[in-house]
Structure 1
């Protein structure tokens, strides 16, 4: 627990020191960390190291103008890192350092000159006045729906209504044996009657 607190303090000191060094002379006053002077003894253990990476520095492309290339920042490889091996630092501190470095990375805004040169994708042109079949399909669907509703609204005859009421009454009976006896009695009555 104590080691973690020291690593947090050391990282905070590194970021504050880096911020102080990157602030140009003559700029306005900024607030500083209250413990920066108390942690000054760490300056001997922390050194600026030049790092190597596989990221090439930004060079101007022949098609871009010189004004645009001056607006883009170059890759800065000088970073204040604490002296020590990776095992001493631990994964959690390395993650915190990465997060702090990501905050410090400046994301430049796209200049107006580059925005003007953006290629716009053409939108699909719709021809006014041509029927693409949608209106005919919609009218056909509405017509068939209207016919279906009209068929459902037609009054049913008395025999069909009586048959439905008998069916609803049969559904209310829970006992399967009683239901079967009633159905067979109804069917025998129909069998006795001559059509």
Structure 2
């Protein structure tokens, strides 16, 4: 099955990488979770109309570079019929807005990868692998979307759309909070890899 998603990658090599990640991450996560310093995450919860979140997310992913169709679904996904017709879906919750935004940015990473493949129907113009695909979505969601520069850009849009009085720095700290979660797509930067390892 591994070969279907990551052609040529031996399971032994994956296991070695997972062991290295687990050895490093578990003590780090325990240290962070045991810290007395915790960010204020209250700005993430409240009553946020889905329509406001959807409009906000479309504005943000459009600014990132996604110009395709965006809809709502139970679980976020990206689909493409060609590099000229790539679509994303997102999920939203009225009582917590960040997971919807993170999912939209993640799917935008997939969509940007798909939309930049050449339209000529040749094997070389197909996605390289699921690992490459996921690296692009996680790059946008985690490396860009959790950064201070991103929140300097997105903070004003979130404040305006959701009627929040939160600084860019406080948004940045809140979305980078580390906590345990049973749901992979809701996991933070530190605990997410452990979901993959399991």
TM superposition score category, shorter chain reference: under 0.3
Q: TM-score, normalised by structure 1?
A: 0.23
Q: TM-score, normalised by structure 2?
A: 0.22
Structure number, greater radius of gyration: 1
